[in-house]
Structure 1
Amino acid sequence: MFDKLLEARQKAEEIKKRLDNIIVRGEAEGGLIKITATANKEVTEVSIDQVFLSNANKEELEELLAVAMNHAMRQADNISQTEMQAATKDMLGGLGGLFGQS
């Protein structure tokens, strides 16, 4: 049983490393604001079009940054959930031997 727990922990670390290397992007206002992040939800870049920035007011900019950020975070969530579901399925399949199943 301890081996299975250790294996699960190692699998979780592998997934985290893999998610660190997956890039997600969120945009707002037709790409004038772009957010780049990892699938582990770490923002790595924020890009705002210079012309848009010079014409935008503070409230508009804040709202659109939130929109772009939320798009990127939803993508990260979807990827993370998919990775975790696959890992859980693999682990549960391996646990069948603990209960006399092959």
Structure 2
Amino acid sequence: MDLMGMMGKLKETQQKIEDTKKRLDTVLIDEQSSDGLLKVTLTANRTIKSITIDDSLLEDKEQLEDYMILVMNKAIEKATKSNEAELDAVAKMDMPMIPGMDNLFK
């Protein structure tokens, strides 16, 4: 077992994971309420970039709060799936299969 080669590969993979995380900052996920009155954009790293609220929602605080929770959760779920798929792809592509190593990047 070539330990030095494996360590080098590990470093390389960590670098690729960092690069992927940086790139995910530029991947935008849009989500909106079914009627389009509330729109949210966030990065695949789950950083909120913009929120657009239709004026009609400003008259109903409870509805606005419900919309926020619903739309944000959907957007975060989408971003998380995108994030995990990208990082999994990098890890699987580059990792030598060492038992137990796949839990390292979770």
TM-score where L is the length of structure 2: 0.78
Question: Is the Cα contact below 8 Å between 1:19 and 1:39 reproduced in 2?
Answer: yes
CA distance in structure 2 between the partners assigned to 1:81 and 1:47 by the alignment: 26
Amino acid at match of 1:87: V
Deviation at residue 90 of structure 1 after TM alignment: 0.8
Higher helix share: 1
CA distance in structure 2 between the partners assigned to 1:88 and 1:5 by the alignment: 10
Deviation at residue 74 of structure 1 after TM alignment: 1.2
2:50 paired residue number: 45
Amino acid at match of 1:43: I
After superposition, the CA RMSD in angstroms is 1.7
TM-score where L is the length of structure 1: 0.81
Structure 2 unaligned spans of 5+: 1-5, 99-106
Report Cα offsets for 1:14-60 as digits up to 9, x if no partner.
1111100100012124110011100000001111001232x31x222
Question: Is the Cα contact below 8 Å between 2:17 and 2:91 reproduced in 1?
Answer: no
1:24 paired residue number: 29
Equivalent residues, number? 93
2:73 paired residue number: 70
CA distance in structure 2 between the partners assigned to 1:62 and 1:52 by the alignment: 9
- 2:83 corresponds to 1:80: yes
Runs of 4+ in 1 over 2 A off after TM superposition: none
CA distance in structure 1 between the partners assigned to 2:34 and 2:13 by the alignment: 42
